[in-house]
């Protein structure tokens, strides 16, 4: 089965547009989107240390869950997770796999990587709205189990482990870490497209065309009308029927107070400037 499937990993920081990118690609008729709520990591973590065939049962269990997010699930997979013959690509919305570049390259050497980048002030504001999720604790635990992160981000982990560090600063450090690893995927030999969330919502048609091409898919209008393909709620209680919201780009300016905005900028300014963001948002 794995010989004809192309795996696309959507990575980067949580709350940076990974859900939106997943739904745009997942709407394509040749794609099945698997995300966290489909028990993605239970299968993926096993697949990264074992071979695809020995984890096929877990993969099909993911597919059986993933089909339920579609209005027409039978077009994607059967109730037992057997893929429809027209499915050629599997999109894995897997921001926690951002720490697993070498393992992905080893287990999925032909994978395509879509790497999300977003103004970290917007990411922090979005993280804070999900107060029911222990975002900082979850990410710190994952960072501490990744040897290269422990080696390269010693100071970040120290600050994240310090109970006196304000939570918004911890969120900024997590987002900064996860957005700073794209070159590791390239060095591992994987095909990477860096995608700015702001470009995706501002120039959707042009950016989606490039995104679909990067993933080796033919253009299809469903990618631009993904709200007609999905149902229910996605990760982070995202309404899958919600249209692309350009207002979300500037929402952080109201959601964060002035001190938080300054703190996040001070922590992430070098990276944000490299990515073309400015301190004063126009």
- With residue 87 as reference, give the H or E element that holds it: none
CA neighbor of 251 nearest in space, from 127, 120, 135, 125: 125
Q: Which residue has the higher pLDDT, 19 or 237?
A: 19
Q: Cα dist. 147→102, 109, 201 in Å?
A: 11, 21, 35
Strand 89-93, strand 31-34: pairing: parallel
Please state the rounded mean pLDDT for residues 206-234: 95
CA neighbor of 94 nearest in space, from 145, 42, 141, 31: 42
Q: What is the DSSP string of 97-144?
A: GGG-HHHHHHH-TT-EEEEEE--HHHHHHHHHH-TTS-HHHHHHHHHH
Which sequence spans correspond to the domains of the chain?
2-126+179-256
Cα gap 116→62, rounded to integer Å: 23
Residue 72 DSSP label: S
Least confident of 52-56, 104-108, 111-115: 52-56
Is the pLDDT score of 281 beyond 80? no
Is the pLDDT score of 3 beyond 70? no
| Residue 27 near residue 21, CB atoms below 8 Å | no
Q: What angle do CA 171, 175, 180 make, to 5 degrees?
A: 150
Predicted local distance difference test score (pLDDT) of residue 1: 44
Predicted local distance difference test score (pLDDT) of residue 241: 84
Residue with tokens 């911890």: 170
Is the pLDDT score of 56 beyond 80? yes
Tens-digit pLDDT profile for residues 123-143: 999 999 988 889 999 999 999
Question: What is 2-126+179-256's CATH topology?
Answer: Rossmann fold (3.40.50)
Please state the rounded mean pLDDT for residues 241-248: 83
């Amino acid at each position: 089965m794995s010989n004809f499937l192309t795996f696309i990993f959507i990575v980067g920081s949580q709350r940076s547009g990974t859900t939106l990118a997943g739904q745009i690609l997942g709407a394509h008729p040749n794609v099945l989107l698997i995300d966290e709520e489909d028990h993605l990591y239970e299968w993926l973590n096993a697949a990264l240390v074992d071979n695809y065939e020995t984890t096929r049962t877990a993969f099909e269990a993911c597919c059986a869950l993933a089909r339920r997010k579609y209005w027409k699930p039978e077009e994607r997979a059967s109730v037992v997770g057997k893929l429809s013959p027209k499915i050629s690509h599997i999109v894995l919305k897997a921001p926690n796999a951002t720490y697993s570049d070498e393992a992905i390259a080893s287990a999925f050497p032909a994978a395509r990587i879509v790497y999300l980048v977003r103004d970290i002030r917007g990411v922090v504001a979005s993280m804070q709205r999900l107060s029911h999720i222990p975002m900082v604790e979850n990410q710190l635990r994952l960072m501490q189990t990744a040897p290269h992160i422990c080696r390269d981000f010693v100071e970040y982990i120290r600050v994240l482990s310090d109970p006196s560090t304000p939570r918004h600063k911890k969120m900024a450090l997590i987002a900064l870490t996860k957005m700073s690893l794209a070159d590791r995927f390239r060095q591992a030999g994987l095909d990477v497209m860096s995608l700015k969330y702001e470009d995706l919502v501002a120039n959707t048609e042009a950016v989606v065309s490039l995104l679909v091409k990067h993933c080796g898919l033919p253009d299809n209008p469903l990618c631009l009308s993904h709200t007609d393909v999905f149902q229910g709620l996605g990760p982070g209680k995202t309404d899958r029927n919600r249209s692309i919201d350009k207002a979300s780009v500037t929402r952080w300016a109201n959601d964060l107070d002035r001190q938080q905005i300054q703190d996040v900028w001070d922590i992430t300014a070098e990276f944000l400037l490299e990515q073309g963001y400015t301190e004063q948002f126009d």
